[in-house]
Structures are given as structure tokens and as C-alpha cells.
Structure 1
């Protein structure tokens, strides 16, 4: 396993939308929001690419406000889609292909549907995929756990948001470390 390099990484935020979020267990939603916020901010500071998707936004709403704000600050495109796998959406393919990252860090919902299908496709294409277990949610915990198992079986590394950020940072004591460690506490 190679060290994660921000310049060769993309954070992909999958379908963290208003109506879906309302159906998620509160502890999962809190953890997902914290993990995604940390990863988006770390990506912005350290130079990783950030992309987000919205599944059928006319029906499921837009990205939840706290993450929408962070995505805007990071200059991340938010791509509407109807496909379950983001990789099947042409606009996502274009945006992802612009930087052709070697590594994808995938967070979002639901773990057993859109997250899993996106992870499976990215891994099949040779992208090293990391799925922070604190960054995914499903309406039911057994579905979330099945989604994580499916992601692992597809070739993803199951990790945590903090593990990704500290791998990107490499060393303590820098201004980036000081800023990001405040988000971790």
C-alpha cells in the first residue's frame, strides 16, 4: 500500500442530500458530516481534488448545507446524476478524468448502493479506493455494514477520515497540521 499523496488524490462526496440525510440515523449522519468536513478542508489546504454528486436532486434535495458550504469553499463541482454509480454519469467521468487521480477517498450515502457501486467501478479501473468507515451512512446499520463489506470485497481499503488526513500530512508541527488538528479534536 502506497502513502496517500494529496496531489494524486480525489475526495468524492456521494449524495449527501437533504431528504436522504433526514432518513439516516443521527449518529451516522453526525459522523459522516464530521468526516466529510475534515476531508474537504484537508483536501482544500493540501491540494487534493474534491468532487461531489447529487442523486436526482429534484426529488432528494440538494447537498446538506454544512457540506455544500465546504464544497463551495473548495471549488468542488457538484454533479447531478440519475445513475447509482457516479462513474456512470458522464459529467462525473469528465470531472474525475481531468485530474486522473491515482487514489479516491469516497464518503457519502447510501453505503450499500451509490457508495458501493461507485467504489466498485473506481476499483475496477485501477484506482486505489479508500472508504472511511466514519464517512458513510445507510438508513439501516446492517445495510451500512454490508456496504462496507462490499466495498472491501471490491478492493477498497476501509479506513477512517483521520487516517487519510494524517497520511496526507506526513508530519506534525506545520501550519496545515495545526489547522487540521483543530478539526479533529
Structure 2
């Protein structure tokens, strides 16, 4: 994968859930960055897919992100174990991944997507774990296996490609 493309991407939001987020290191910043990604996706017509891990136990998606896209409930840590998840990602789109926890659900999902030969970009500043060390090790592992590691700002500006884009001003405001 080289540059990300808004015409060739799906934003995948993994398990940003109400009962989980208070335990996530730097959780408020991660949710804010995920919201920036959702808003940029909306401006640039990038589809959004969301998951919720055991929603009966961990609650629904945090209010800041609720309703951003269709939600697939799951019990497996690896979202790919849920047939509806892979069906929703049919085709050869770039998968831009954010969510929690980096070393469990995000990590297992990303590694599985890579095994399925999917193009995956993990948004480092919109992925979290309870412990910073767990996130750090997970990011390194995903990168070793072929995931691109990017930031929220990289995603937004690569989706835009040019300051001449009709949505440039609106998207740039999301970053500032």
C-alpha cells in the first residue's frame, strides 16, 4: 500500500465501547481522533464499519462515535471470525483501522485481515490499550506483519491529496 485513497477506503472502528473506554490509556484523546476520522470519512464519502465486542457485557459504542456506521456485534476477539464482518468488507478496499484494544481485538483482527491478504493501515493515535506497553508491542507486531502504521492527520491529508480539494477547508479544521 502506498498513499491512502478516499475513493478506495473503508474506515473500520473496533470496539470503542462505553464500559471499556474508562480503562483505556489516553482514552479521551483516542476517541477524539476516531471522531476526526469519522468526520473526515463523512466529508469524503468513505464508508464506516463498526464492531462491538460482547455488547451485553461492555455496552454499546461511546456516544461520540455511535451511529457513525453499521455495527457488527461479536464475541470473538478477531472480528474476522464473524462472517458478517468479512462480508461487509468484500472487495479490495484499503482498510483504515482504529479501536481498542490494540493487543487484543485490534491486533487479532489486523493480523487476520493480513492473512486474508487485505491492505491494512492502523491509525496509531486512534488505537488504544489499557497499558501503553501493550499498545506499543501490538503496533510493532502489526507493522512487522505488513500493516501500515499511520496517524489521524496522515489519513485525513492523504484522503484529501490536495489543498484544492473541495472539502479541504472543512477537513483541515478537523485537525486543528
Q: Which runs of 5+ in 2 are unaligned?
A: none
Please name the residue that 1:54 is paired with: 52
- The answer (yes or no) to whether the contact 2:101–2:129 under 8 Å persists in 1 is yes
Rounded to whole Å, the distance in 2 between the matches of 1:36 and 1:122 is 20
Equivalent residues in 2 for 1:14-163, closer than 5 Å: 14-25=14-25, 28-69=26-67, 71=68, 76-97=69-90, 100-163=91-154
1:11·1:106 contact (CA, 8 Å) conserved in 2?
yes
Tell me the TM-score normalized by structure 1.
0.90
Unaligned 5+ residue runs, structure 1? none
Which whole-Å CA distance do the structure 1 matches of 2:31 and 2:22 have between them? 13
TM, length-normalised to structure 2: 0.95
Distance 1:101 1:38, change over 3 A: farther
User: 4+ residue runs of structure 1 moved beyond 4 angstroms?
Assistant: none
Structure ranking higher in helix proportion: 1
**How many residue pairs were aligned?**
176
